[in-house]
Amino acid sequence: MKITTRLWILLGILVLLSPLGLILPEHFKAGSAWGEWGSDEIKELVGYVPTGLKKLSGLWNAPIPDYAFQGWGGKGLSHLSFAYIFSGILGAALIALVVWLMGKIFIKPGK
């Protein structure tokens, strides 16, 4: 089996495992996944929001907030797991497309 085939299989497995970031914190009553806190959660955890984070928090809005579709917030774990997998597939596909396009643009044929 070629190395690229193995890498695609590994990427597919990682995408399918992505809902673990949602399921495990729910199972252990741990709150949000580590590192995915908003400024309000940081204030709750630490007691304040760092100045730099306050300034930059409005700079970027996620295209798919919380990895879920609009209106799916209270649909349950199975719907959110599907949304996590869809987000993983979409993100991996976009990155693969960008890398492929960069290869086509910057790699000269025959070299």
User: Is residue 98 in some structural domain?
Assistant: yes
Q: How confident is the model at residue 94 (pLDDT cuts 50, 70, 90)?
A: very high
Q: How high is the pLDDT of residue 29?
A: 83
User: Is residue 66 in some structural domain?
Assistant: yes
Alpha-carbon separation of residue 95 from 35, 74, 92 (angstroms):
22, 30, 5
DSSP letters along 25-41, please?
HHHTT--SPTT---HHH
Q: Write out the residue range of the structural domain in which residue 51 sits.
A: 3-106
Q: At what angle do helices 77-106 and 20-27 cross, to 10 degrees?
A: 150
Nearest to 89 by CA among 36, 13, 24, 25: 13
User: Is residue 111 in some structural domain?
Assistant: no
Tell me the percentage of the chain whose pLDDT exceeds 70.
Answer: 97
Quick check: helix, strand or coil at residue 101? Answer: helix
User: Is residue 48 in some structural domain?
Assistant: yes
Tell me the percentage of the chain whose pLDDT exceeds 90.
Answer: 34
Digit-coded pLDDT (tens) for 18-55: 888 778 888 888 777 777 788 888 898 899 999 998 88
User: Is residue 14 in some structural domain?
Assistant: yes
User: Is residue 17 in some structural domain?
Assistant: yes
* Total tally of structural domains belonging to the chain: 1
DSSP 70: T
End-to-end CA distance of the chain: 25
User: Is residue 95 in some structural domain?
Assistant: yes
Quick check: helix, strand or coil at residue 58? Answer: coil
Contact assessment for residue 65 and residue 80, using Cβ atoms and an 8 Å cutoff: no
User: Is residue 84 in some structural domain?
Assistant: yes
